[in-house]
Amino acid sequence: MASVKRFSPLPGFGLAMGYTLVYLTLVVLIPLTAVGTKTLTMGLDAFWAAVSSPRVVASYQLSFGASLLAAAINVVFGLIFAWVLVRYRFPGKGLIDALVDLPFALPTAVAGIALATIHSENGPVGKLLEPWGIEIAYTPNGVLLALVFIGLPFVVRTVQPVLADLEKEVEEAAAGLGASRGQTFLRIILPHIGPALLTGFAMAFARAVGEYGSVIFIAGNVPMVSEITPLLIITKLEQYDYAGATAVASVMLVFSFVLLLIINGLQGWMHHRYARGA
Amino acid sequence: MSISIRNISKQFGTFQALDDVSIDIPSGELVALLGPSGCGKTTLLRIIAGLDYADRGQILLDGDDASARHVRERRVGFVFQHYALFRHMSIADNVAFGLRVRPRRERLAEAEIRRRVKRLLELVQLDWLADRFPPQLSGGQRQRIALARALAVEPKVLLLDEPFGALDAKVRKELRRWLRQLHDEIHVTSVFVTHDQEEALEVADRVVVINKGKVEQIGTPEAVYDHPATPFVANFLGSVNLFHGRVEDGHLHLGEHALALGAGGGSEGRAVAFVRPHEFDLVPGWHADGGLPARILRVAAAGPSAQIEVSRVDGEVIEVTISRDAFQLLGLAEGDQVSLRPRHIRVFQAEALAA
Amino acid sequence: MSTSIALHAGSLERAETASTREPAWAKVVLISVALSFFAVFLLLPLGTVFAEALRKGWGAYLEALVNRDAWDAIRLTLITAAIAVPLNLVFGVAAAWSIAKFEFRGKRLLITFIDLPFSVSPVISGLIYVLLFGAQGWFGPWLQEHDIQIIFAVPGIVLATIFVTFPFVARELIPLMEAQGSEEEEAAVVLGASGWQVFWHITLPNIKWGLLYGVILCNARAMGEFGAVSVVSGHIRGQTNTMPLYVEILYNEYNYAAAFAVASLLALLAIVTLALKTLVERQTRRQLQEIAATSESET
């Protein structure tokens, strides 16, 4: 490792690094390559047939479409949450700040059955909406709702510290130069938190595409209508169609990796942008 | 313990941090490594400590090659620029740390450790802070605790990285006087890194001036200040006026004027000359027989000396410092014509400046 | 992915002055929107869990929890977390030590690899172990020969859980240890401390809050994971049911009260997790401010 690593007086690099690499390889890298090798043994035609059947394509449309929409909704509400948490004092603020992370902490199955119960026709919200002809549970709307639920903390928690970091003097300077509050927001604040919003959006989107537990209870899971891609993978597995399941999984994996790289890039950008002093 | 630095070179990627550096530091001396930031002085200090390693060269401690010895076995005391006090330990525990981590058979009894910590805290005059924690201390106090902690293990060598760098001016002045006194008391071979020439000149027995990874000059504070070996040293130590000209038959020619250079006035050819502000005599009026004609631009005469800005005929600005009394005797005012007569000119061949 | 960002040095609140204040109506609207969204999307689901669990009274609630199947599910959940969390804890410390305290090539790539499990769908996290250890998998035939059951058994559940909780501790520690730098460790080494002494006396006390934070999140996910374990479990009652899987079974059997009773335990776990997390965040923030303060010049 001498050529790779700079000298350090601290001990333990060999041991720590060795353990890190072995554990990473055994737990993450080897299992993930299983998807690749399984896909490669399929042959192109079989692969294409598996990933482009109408039912699969319909599931992509739902998963990706609902995830994009959910992430967009999260950007709006996440920004509002971050804003009121950073800027205002009001009763219940501490509770909100702590509970914003509930979607992280609440097991997805629990969230799933709770959301399904609330929004079913007998549930407290479902009952209210029914006279208006709005159905949420067991429709694509339910998928969207669940994805909004699990994605919210991503946007709040990326934007919140960046917003808190924005120096008040900058806004005061803008106001002093005659900018209205709206202009200050659009021209000063929004550009400042833009990268954070984008990062939060990408994270919420990435999480939503792969989400399973909180969605399946409320989705109804009707093929071609409200069946998300992760569920389709499980369905194929239960039918012992391992190759088909793996093919669909590989499409999602490639997509996730690209998103991961984009998110890492965004975070690098954020780090670069928001780093002070140095 | 004496330190011998032999032909040390160190590269970071394509950046040559140290280039064939050799320095001998006799036992008991207090030496300053002085240079601009990024000149390699901190790297050299870390190599002496064993916190970094050299690509080439050796470090001898008391004549023994220590290059292969781990930092733990070198018995050096190191004071970090930001002190690196252990945040979660009390001041007393910080100072005791080096004694407590010794292997059991070499470890002192706890009572003895406590005695020694108390003595060290008294030495740095902070025994009343023993139960506090580092974040509760001021910068100057942290600095002294860091020093006490380094001294606890009775190091043969004390290394200090920009020891006063993070302190404000007043505390810095106090602390460096105190460090000098402390060194005179305990006489441990000490090396400190600084970019502040005033600090180096005031505290050190000897000063090593480093630039771009190379040693420019080694000498006593007087020697490096009065007899700079290179243009860099002349320029870096104290403020200085710079003249570009030619040396011919014992004179420095600056445009149409010439200044006599004493004996051994330097080799002929293009040259740069340095004159410190306080090395000028100021004569009212312009005189044909000698001195540079100039005009007084501005005078700042608050304090013991008068700082005078004069401009030469070609517009170049020169700084002159004379005592306030002398200035008042001359009766000069802004706008007056004066002649500048340097008492001392240091001349370097022009090529030397480029190096 | 985002949790590390929550560990932020500055205070997350600021005072406002006249020139940087919105009109009062805007403030009221924004707070109302946030409060309503909060009530409908976060508070209501949480409340529903407990309301539904107690719909048939405390007797039925206790009955749903005190029976063999529920007990088995709780036990398996605890066992799984007890294996996955310590393993990922050790890994997280080792990874953070090598990444934050040393300079080497390929560091960013390594961090990206550590992040991988976060970006993988839970379903795929389960699938990969089916592909490795399932009957048709790489090691399937060999495992069958030796009569070792991994998929549709406890080891599969543990493996899938380890995978999905893999990055938590490392992700908390890496930025924290990078922010702390290595000066204190170097100082300890110069003073003669050995590697383990440096770790125990200097590094560990400095990272303890971040470590705890990572462990709390890791544990919450380990106990609550659903998708990944669902794929590898085979849903054998009393044998391969974790609490979330047991909730699903009860729910699909229209035994809502019992499903929500078990779910209420998991919801309690979430609340405890959030409470601890908030406490630890406060500690870490204070610590980071101390770092900022101690490295600044002051007298």
Q: Which residues of A touch B50 (CB under 8 A)?
A: 9
The Cα diameter of chain B in Å comes to: 82
Question: Looking at chain A, which residue has its C-alpha nearest residue B70?
Answer: A9
Q: Is B212 left (phi over 0), alpha (psi -120 to 50) or beta?
A: left
Q: Evaluate the CA torsion angle C226, C232, C235, C238 in order and state its sign.
A: negative
Measure CA A191 to chain center. 22
User: Chain B closest CA to C174's CA: distance in Å?
Assistant: 19
CA distances from B234 to B201, B216, B227, B230, B231 (A): 14, 10, 8, 6, 5
Q: Among A25, A108, A110, which would you mutate to test the C interface (most chain C Cβ atoms within 10 Å of its Cβ)?
A: A110
Q: How does DSSP assign B50-62, residue by residue? A: TSS--SEEEEEET
Spell out the SS3 assignment of B103-148. CHHHCCCHHHHHHHHHHHHHHCCCHHHCCCCHHHCCHHHHHHHHHH
d(CA A230, CA A212): 6
Question: Looking at chain C, which residue has its C-alpha nearest residue B139?
Answer: C299
Query: Given this model, what pLDDT does residue C3 score?
Result: 38
* Interchain CB distance below 8 Å, A7 and B53: yes
Average pLDDT, chain B: 88
Pick out chain A residues at pLDDT < 70: 1-5, 275-278
User: Chain A closest CA to B265's CA: distance in Å?
Assistant: 47
Query: Given this model, what pLDDT does residue A164 score?
Result: 87
Query: Given this model, what pLDDT does residue C10 score?
Result: 42
* Chain C adjacent subunits, 3+ CB pairs under 8 A: A, B
Query: Given this model, what pLDDT does residue B114 score?
Result: 94
Does any CB of chain A come closer than 8 Å to the CB of residue C194?
Answer: yes
Measured from the Cβ of residue A132, the count of other Cβ atoms closer than 10 Å reads 7
Query: Given this model, what pLDDT does residue C247 score?
Result: 94
Q: Which residues of A touch C43 (CB under 8 A)?
A: 99
* Interchain CB distance below 8 Å, B97 and C205: no
Q: Which residues of A touch B52 (CB under 8 A)?
A: 7, 9
Q: How many residues does chain B have?
A: 355
Residue B339 predicted with pLDDT over 50: yes
Average pLDDT over residues B123-127: 89
3-class secondary structure, B257: strand
Strand B251-254 and strand B241-248: pairing? antiparallel
Among B197-211, B325-339, C119-133, the range scoring the smallest mean pLDDT is: B325-339
Question: Looking at chain A, which residue has its C-alpha nearest residue C43?
Answer: A99
Does any CB of chain C come closer than 8 Å to the CB of residue B133?
Answer: no
Query: Given this model, what pLDDT does residue B173 score?
Result: 86
**Between B210 and A121, the higher pLDDT residue:** B210
Question: Looking at chain A, which residue has its C-alpha nearest residue B55?
Answer: A7
Does any CB of chain C come closer than 8 Å to the CB of residue A272?
Answer: no
Both structure tokens of B223: 């020697």
Q: Which residues of A touch B82 (CB under 8 A)?
A: none
* Interchain CB distance below 8 Å, A242 and C40: no
Query: Given this model, what pLDDT does residue B264 score?
Result: 59
Q: Among A3, A10, A79, which would you mutate to test the C interface (most chain C Cβ atoms within 10 Å of its Cβ)?
A: A10
Does any CB of chain C come closer than 8 Å to the CB of residue B164?
Answer: no
Among B169-183, B208-222, C59-73, the range scoring the smallest mean pLDDT is: B169-183
Question: Looking at chain C, which residue has its C-alpha nearest residue A39?
Answer: C131
d(CA C270, CA B292): 84
* Interchain CB distance below 8 Å, B167 and C297: yes
Does any CB of chain B come closer than 8 Å to the CB of residue C297?
Answer: yes
Residue in B80, B101, B170 nearest the CB of C183: B80
Does any CB of chain B come closer than 8 Å to the CB of residue C283?
Answer: no
The Cα diameter of chain C in Å comes to: 77
Instruction: Please answer whether residues A70 and A77 qualify as being in contact, where contact means their C-beta atoms are separated by less than 8 angstroms.
Output: no
Q: Which of residues 138-167 of A touch C (CB under 8 A)?
A: 148-149, 152-154, 157-158, 160-161, 164-165
Does any CB of chain B come closer than 8 Å to the CB of residue C55?
Answer: no
Half-sphere exposure of residue C93: CA atoms within 13 angstroms, side-chain side: 19
Residue in A8, A164, A249 nearest the CB of C11: A164
Does any CB of chain C come closer than 8 Å to the CB of residue A133?
Answer: no
Both structure tokens of A263: 């998110």
* Interchain CB distance below 8 Å, B72 and C186: no
Query: Given this model, what pLDDT does residue C292 score?
Result: 67
* Interchain CB distance below 8 Å, C35 and A109: no
Residue in C194, C197, C290 nearest the CB of B87: C290
Q: Which of residues 221-250 of C touch A (CB under 8 A)?
A: 223-227, 230-231, 243-245, 247-248
Instruction: Please answer whether residues C248 and C230 qualify as being in contact, where contact means their C-beta atoms are separated by less than 8 angstroms.
Output: yes
Q: Which residues of A touch B15 (CB under 8 A)?
A: none
pLDDT in tens, B32-69: 999 998 888 999 999 999 898 889 999 999 888 888 88
Both structure tokens of B1: 């313990």
* Interchain CB distance below 8 Å, C104 and A242: no
Q: Which residues of A touch B71 (CB under 8 A)?
A: 9
Q: Which of residues 56-85 of C touch A (CB under 8 A)?
A: none
Residue in B84, B150, B168 nearest the CB of C184: B84
Query: Given this model, what pLDDT does residue C31 score?
Result: 93
* Interchain CB distance below 8 Å, C297 and B149: no
Q: At B12, phi and psi to the nearest 5?
A: -110, 105
Q: Which residues of B touch C183 (CB under 8 A)?
A: 80, 82, 84
Predicted confidence pLDDT, tens digits, chain C (299 residues): 333 333 343 445 555 555 567 778 888 999 999 999 999 899 999 999 999 999 998 998 998 899 899 999 999 999 999 999 999 999 999 999 999 999 898 898 899 899 889 889 999 999 999 999 988 888 888 888 888 888 888 999 999 999 999 999 999 999 889 888 899 999 999 999 988 999 999 999 999 988 998 999 999 999 999 999 999 987 666 678 899 999 999 999 999 999 999 999 999 999 999 999 898 888 877 776 766 665 554 33
Residue in C6, C95, C186 nearest the CB of A157: C6
